[in-house]
Amino acid sequence: MLKKIPLVFVFAFAAFASDMPITGDDNPIKPPFKDEWFNQGKPIPPNKAGELILTAYPNSSGEVNGIPYSQWIENSSLQKLFGLPPIDPGSNGPFGMADPAVQTKEGGYTFVKNGFAGESSVNGKIKVAPTRCTSNKNETKPRINCLNFSLMAKQPFQIAVTVYDQLGNFITQYRETVSEKEFRNIVQGPNYVEGSGAEKIAHSEDCVAPTSTNYGAPNVSTINGLVKVNVNIYPFNAEGRGFGNGVYILKIAKVDLPYEGCVNSNGTAVKTAMPFVRNHSELKMGWMRIEEKKF
């Protein structure tokens, strides 16, 4: 009978999960942001000031596009594109589309959480969700139409991003929570996608195989357990006016919430526990507005 997860695995799992935010697009000249809802000069509440694009990592005991997972996760070029916003639809509309039932080109399974009713895909129903932030996923210099950074998560969390201009004036704040139930829905979602390898995961005494009735349950196995959190701030201040040209300072406060779940350890689902942790960080990003025809 398998024993509960040893501490050495906890440390190894955490080693991959950096809480240091990484910018997705360093170029201050951004592609156009198209959603007209924001162009009405109305105050924007913190839960509608941005969106989370949440990508469940692929099977950690398999391959990603023919590359062993252990090599894929250490490849900085591949990780730069992993979990970015969906492709800009061009003339087909303002929204990107994230379908968690299909593995992305870069690997992983993408969910969305935002403050708009009926749009999020983290509530236990696997569905396509729109994103207002999009990218071109250029292999060397990805372009994104929002202030954007990413980090990894291995447990539910709360995040608050406060944006200031270079003189220290408040611009906007984005706040969001990914609850325990929502986090389980994300990491367990790939279990129901053909080709994810979920059926090959062995189970310990504390973890069970996914079925049609236990999606989101605390003891259901996962193909990995990690989530790439892509944080996107819409380019508008709290009063609903578009960003001006300049440098913006992002002060990031993230609280990791206590969590127990089943993760993939060398092909076997084992139970692990994560403690309460606070993280604080800061980023500086440039922003320049240009007309779409000049982009």
> Is 0.85 surpassed by the pTM of this model?
yes
Give 154's DSSP letter.
S
Q: pLDDT value at position 138?
A: 77
In this prediction, residue 67 carries a pLDDT of: 96
What pLDDT shows up at residue 17?
43
pLDDT at 201: 95
pLDDT of residue 140: 79
Q: For residue 278, give Cα distances in angstroms to 111, 181, 260.
A: 24, 20, 17
d(CA 15, CA 102): 28
CB atoms inside a 10 Å sphere around CB 68: 12
Structural domain count, the chain: 1
Give me the long-range contacts of 162-167 (CB less than 8 A, separation at least 24). 162/250, 162/251, 162/253, 163/233, 163/248, 163/249, 163/250, 163/251, 164/248, 164/249, 164/251, 165/246, 165/247, 165/248, 165/249, 166/246, 166/247, 166/248, 166/249
Q: What's residue 91's pLDDT?
A: 75
Please state, in angstroms and rounded to a whole number, the distance separating the CA atoms of residues 132 and 228.
18
- For residue 274, which phi and psi values (nearest 5 degrees)? -120, 135
So what's the pLDDT on residue 18?
58
At 231 the pLDDT is 98
Residue 2 belongs to some domain of the structure: no
150's CB contacts (< 8 A; 6+ apart) are 21, 22, 24, 83, 84, 228, 229, 230, 231
Q: Give pLDDT, residue 290.
A: 67
Domain that holds residue 181: 7-294
Residue whose C-alpha is closest to residue 237's, from 143, 163, 146:
163
Q: What is the DSSP letter of 242?
A: B
Q: How far is CA 149 from CA 62, 72, 73, 83, 85, in A?
A: 27, 20, 18, 10, 11
Q: What is the pLDDT along the chain (295 residues), one digit of tens a residue?
A: 333 333 333 333 433 445 789 999 989 999 888 877 787 778 999 999 999 999 999 999 999 999 999 999 999 989 999 999 999 888 777 899 999 999 999 999 999 999 999 999 999 989 999 999 999 887 778 999 999 999 999 999 999 999 999 999 999 999 999 999 999 999 999 999 999 999 999 988 899 999 999 999 999 999 999 999 999 999 999 999 999 999 999 999 999 999 999 999 999 999 999 999 999 999 999 999 766 554 4
* Total Cβ atoms within 10 A of residue 210: 22
Alpha carbons 84 and 104: distance in angstroms, whole number: 10
* 246 within a domain of the structure (yes/no): yes
290 within a domain of the structure (yes/no): yes
Check: CB of residue 154 under 8 Å from CB of residue 226: yes
The answer to whether the Cα torsion of 206, 277, 282, 43 is positive or negative is positive
Spatial distance between the Cα atoms of 151 and 20, rounded to a whole number of angstroms: 6
What are the C-alpha distances in Å from 10 to residues 155, 236, 274? 13, 40, 8
**Domain-located, residue 1:** no
**3-state class (DSSP) for residue 90:** helix
Structure tokens at 268: 């076997």
DSSP 281: E
Dihedrals φ, ψ of 190, to 5°? Answer: -60, -15
How much is the pLDDT for 292?
A: 53
Which residues, other chains included, contact 91 with Cβ-Cβ below 8 Å and sequence gap of 6+?
none
Judge whether 141 lies within some domain. Answer: yes
